[in-house]
Each structure stands twice: as C-alpha cells, then as structure tokens.
Amino acid sequence: QEPYIVSSKSFTAVAINCAAKAGEWIKSKLGSYEKLDIKVSTHDLVTEVDKGAEKLIRRLILTHFPDHAFLGEESTGIGAAAAASALHDVEESEYLWIVDPIDGTTNYVHGLPLYSVSIALAHKGEIIVGVIYDPSRDELYVAEKGKGAYVHGVPMKVSKEQKLEDSLIATGFPTEQTVLLPLNLAGIQAVAPRVRNIRTIGSAALSLAYVATGRLSGFWELNLNAWDLAAGMLLIQESGGRVTDTAGNPYHLGVRNVIATNGHIHDELHTVLEQANVTGMDL
C-alpha cells in the first residue's frame, strides 16, 4: 500500500513535524510562561503556551494543506455545546485535522512531566493518521489506518491480559465537580476491587498511547472531546485494541465517554462500569 501522499507531501510527515515542533516549543516554555488563565474554574486551566502551540500547528498544517479543515481545543469555545457545534461545522469536511496542543495542561502547569501533543487527520469522518508526542520522554507515537502503529519505528502492540483482575487500568478525574466527579468516583469504586490497580495519568491522549503500547491494559474517561481521543483511538486500533463509548458503541468523532482497552478485557470493564451506572452525560 502507498503511504498517504498529496503532491509529494505526506500527511503523516506533516503531523509528525507539527507534533515534534510544537512539543519542543512547549517543553522549552515549561515553568517560564507568564500568564495562566482559568477557563471555568481552578480545575480547568489554559496557558499562553496552549494557545501558541495550537497556532503554530494550525499555521504549519494550513501552509501544507490550505483547503483542509481544522478543529483545535483552543480555537473552540468552552463547554459541550461549543464543542458539539464546532465538530458539527467541520465533520463533513473531506480532510479534517483534530488537534490538542497540550493534553495534560494541569500537569504542565505544575511541572509534572505527563503531557502530550495530539494530532489526528480524518478523511470523511474516518481517522487515517494519529500522532501523539510526549516531549518529556521524547516518545513519538504514530499510527496510519491499516498500516499499524509505531513508537519511534518499533511496532506497538496492546497488552496480553485476558482478565480484569490482571489488568492495570487508568481513568481521569472529571473537572466538573457536581455531577461527573461523583459519577466517576462511583466508577472507580466499582472498578478498583476488580483490577490489579488504578492509575490516573492526567493526559487522556497519553493514557490512550499507553494502552496502545501495552503499558496500560485499559482506560476509561468521561466528558472528553474529539481532540483528546482521535489520535489515541487510531493508535489503539492499529495496535490490536478496542475503543468504544461507555454504551459499547464503536468509536466515532462525537464520542465523549470512552472505554479503550487491549480488547480482551473490554466487555468485562464495560460491564462493571455499566453496573455502576457510569455511562456519562454531556456537560
């Protein structure tokens, strides 16, 4: 099969270039940026580095592909309604780039080296390229639809655990405190006794990359957006794993409540979450 090439510029090469450039710049700004903004509450932060990195990525992509559509967290309004309408505006595009310039901003703000750049390309709604870059470890995860997933050129494979009891599972704490946090705490309470242990990484994109590499057996989180999930979803699919929403439906761009696993433990994790009523809702 041919790589995805348009007038000798590979989509994947552009995605990698953007992720690497943005990642280096983000890392160079660690601890030295000047302004910290609060989006909704002190649980939800954004820095000038998030905004600058998204601009850099958008500029690079549109220089190569001026007629492509672009969906980025920092150029989308705040909240589920804004995210849904932004996605609605672009999801019919022939080519759509979906970008989270820093996934794990809270970690970044605190100097905890668990954050990433996430870049995906969808063709008519189907993700064909996914790239996640972790600047702290210089780990670059790349997937192309139907061609596998690689970390620095080495093929990735999901983990082998067949049962929840042997599994290391990650989730995230929702920033919304009234409904979603208690809901997911109930999920953690239900899942924790059934698994080897629970982690929260603080970057959904990195958590998905870790499921793809087999470092985690599975991951679930509520209230995410396309830019958190698109690239990591393809990494997992191309590494042999499975990604659905919390109702068990296959991944699509509108999925916000996600279960992502090595495949073997998927139904078991889904059942435990379902029994705990962790199906999520749009907030």
**Which residues would be at the binding site for ligand 2AM (CB under 6 A)?**
44, 73, 100, 103-105, 172-173, 175, 202-204, 221, 223-224, 228
Catalytic residue, chosen from 47, 105, 171, 261, is 105
Provide the minimum distance between the beta carbon of 154 and ligand 2AM in the complex, in angstroms, as a whole number.
25
The reply to whether 103 belongs to the active site is yes
Cβ proximity to ligand 2AM, 100 vs 144, nearer residue: 100
72's contact among Ca ion, ligand 2AM, none, with CB below 5 to 8 A by partner kind, is none
Catalytic residue, chosen from 50, 54, 74, 100, is 100
Residue 91 marked in a binding site: no
In whole angstroms, give the CA distance from residue 116 to residue 98: 14
SS3 112: coil
Q: What are phi and psi of 95, to 5 degrees?
A: -120, 130
Residue 50 marked in a binding site: no
Provide the minimum distance between the beta carbon of 231 and ligand 2AM in the complex, in angstroms, as a whole number.
12
The reply to whether 126 belongs to the active site is no
Provide the minimum distance between the beta carbon of 177 and Ca ion in the complex, in angstroms, as a whole number.
16
221 sits near Ca ion (criterion: CB under 5 A): no
Can you list the pairs that 86-91 forms with residues at least 24 positions away whose Cβ atoms lie under 8 Å?
A: 87/226, 87/253, 87/254, 91/122, 91/125, 91/253, 91/254
The reply to whether 105 belongs to the active site is yes
Give the nearest residue (CB) to ligand 2AM.
172
- Tokens representing 121 are 């390309």
Contact 177, 183 (CB under 8 A): no
Provide the minimum distance between the beta carbon of 175 and ligand 2AM in the complex, in angstroms, as a whole number.
4
Residue 103 marked in a binding site: yes
The reply to whether 34 belongs to the active site is no
The reply to whether 134 belongs to the active site is no
Can you list the pairs that 56-61 forms with residues at least 24 positions away whose Cβ atoms lie under 8 Å?
A: 56/18, 56/21, 56/22, 56/25, 56/101, 57/18, 57/19, 57/21, 57/22, 57/99, 57/101, 57/117, 57/119, 58/99, 60/14, 60/17, 60/18, 60/21, 61/14, 61/18, 61/97, 61/99
Among 167, 123, 158, 139, which residue's Cα sits nearest to residue 268?
167
The reply to whether 94 belongs to the active site is no
73 sits near Ca ion (criterion: CB under 5 A): yes
Can you list the pairs that 75-78 forms with residues at least 24 positions away whose Cβ atoms lie under 8 Å?
A: 78/39, 78/40
| Contact with Ca ion (CB under 5 A) among 91, 228, 238, 268 | 228
134 sits near Ca ion (criterion: CB under 5 A): no
Alpha helices in 6-151 (DSSP H): 11-28, 48-64, 80-90, 105-110
Provide the minimum distance between the beta carbon of 116 and Ca ion in the complex, in angstroms, as a whole number.
9
| Contact with Ca ion (CB under 5 A) among 103, 161, 238, 268 | 103
Cβ proximity to ligand 2AM, 76 vs 223, nearer residue: 223
Residues that bind Ca ion (CB under 5 A): 73, 100, 102-103, 228
Binding residues for Mg(2+): 73, 100, 102-103, 228
> Which residues have a catalytic role annotated?
73, 100, 102-103, 105, 228
